[in-house]
Amino acid sequence: MAVDHQVLAVNGINLSIYSAGPADGRPLWLLHGFPECWYSWRHQIEPLARHGYRVLVPEMRGYGQSSAPSEPEAYDLITLCGDIQAAMDALGHTEAGVISHDWGAGLAWYLTLLEPQRVKALVTMSVPFGGRPKRPAIDIMREANADRFNYIVYFQDVGVAEAELDADITRSLQLLLGGTGEMFLQDKPADARLFDGMPEPQGLPSWCTEKEFSVYRRTLSRGFRGPLNWYRNFGRTWQRTEALAGQSIVPPTLFLLGDNDLVGKLESHTIKRMNQVVPRLEHHVLENCGHWIQNERPNEVNALLDDFLGRHYKA
């Protein structure tokens, strides 16, 4: 199937978008996470397009051929939502379905709060939502990890994580994509680095071929500065979302999680109370599955998408 590519000038940046499916099909936006790329949806694009959807897969701000501003304040979630909102406007999408993973899911939750009439169906993977927190999450993380390493706290200082991750982009991606996530829970000093104590990578994960990995590597070839900036805006996002406090997610929502996903373990308290702010929630846990859910279990994910979209956002 042919995949089209275009670059839109929106929200002060250039946004690279891949698309497939009939031009008049119902829009379906697929939003990737960290440290991924549009190609992380490779198992979903063609099946969804063949069902009649117009599938749109942006390279998110900071990735690939999209603009990557160097200043961290250019990556708060309201600004990032603005990229997708402006692209939808430019393409004439008055309604849309959204499928998302990882940081893409973090964006999708707030996009849906901002656009309750436009987003008709929402799918999020791996990252749950419990509403706007009472204070910035980074403040809580700093307090809880004052004497031990925490990867999100480590990502906060501009230039520090970049120096480690950019030193060998291939190795960094192999460790990030190929691990079980246990590197993020290692008990080590607060001044440690992300990969300290980690064994050398043993090839690629089973779900990723060398050809596929080359797309990830090319996407991150400029370095990790832009993607890491997504982590540096907990405070700014919290300030800019005050008007959204207490609001619920309106459209029908499907949340998918791998049973071995570290995020699920860290955010179990959020998952338990999700239905309080996501009243039309459907929740599925995939067995023997880690964080990279749409790649590790593509057939199961696609079947769940077909069922959910068929009921709530038919092409």
Q: pLDDT (tens digit, 9 = 90+) per residue, 21-41?
A: 999 999 999 999 999 999 999
What is the mean pLDDT of the segment spanning 253-266? 93
Cα dihedral 236/242/247/251 (nearest 10): -40
- List the domain boundaries for the chain: 4-312
pLDDT tier for residue 266 given thresholds of 50, 70 and 90: confident
Q: Which CATH architecture has domain 4-312?
A: 3-Layer(aba) Sandwich (3.40)
| pLDDT of 155 above 90 | yes
| pLDDT of 182 above 80 | no
Cα dihedral 208/221/194/259 (nearest 10): -30
Work out the angle at residue 246's Cα, subtended by the Cα atoms of residues 135 and 242, and round it to the nearest 5 degrees: 50
First vs last C-alpha separation in the chain: 18
Q: What is the pLDDT of residue 143?
A: 94
Q: What is the pLDDT of residue 178?
A: 87
Which residues are designated catalytic? Answer: 102, 291
* Peptide bond connecting 205 to the previous residue in cis, omega within 30 degrees of 0: no
| pLDDT of 264 above 90 | no
| pLDDT of 183 above 70 | no
pTM of the model: 0.97
What is the mean pLDDT of the segment spanning 277-302? 97
Per-residue H/E/C for the chain: CCCEEEEEEECCEEEEEEEECCCCCCEEEEECCCCCCHHHHHHHHHHHHHCCCEEEEECCCCCCCCCCCCCHHHHCHHHHHHHHHHHHHHCCCCCEEEEEECHHHHHHHHHHHHCCCCEEEEEEECCCCCCCCCCCHHHHHHHHCCCCCCHHHHCCCCCHHHHHHHCCHHHHHHHHHHCCCHHHHCCCCCCCCCCCCCCCCCCCCCCCCHHHHHHHHHHCCCCCHHHHHHHHCHHHHHHHCHHHCCCCCCCCEEEEEECCCHHHHHCHHHHHCHHHCCCCEEEEEECCCCCCHHHHCHHHHHHHHHHHHHHHCCC
Question: How much of the chain, in percent, has pLDDT values that exceed 70?
Answer: 98
pLDDT tier for residue 265 given thresholds of 50, 70 and 90: confident
Confirm if 234 and 136 have CB atoms less than 8 A apart. Answer: yes
Q: What is the pLDDT of residue 202?
A: 86
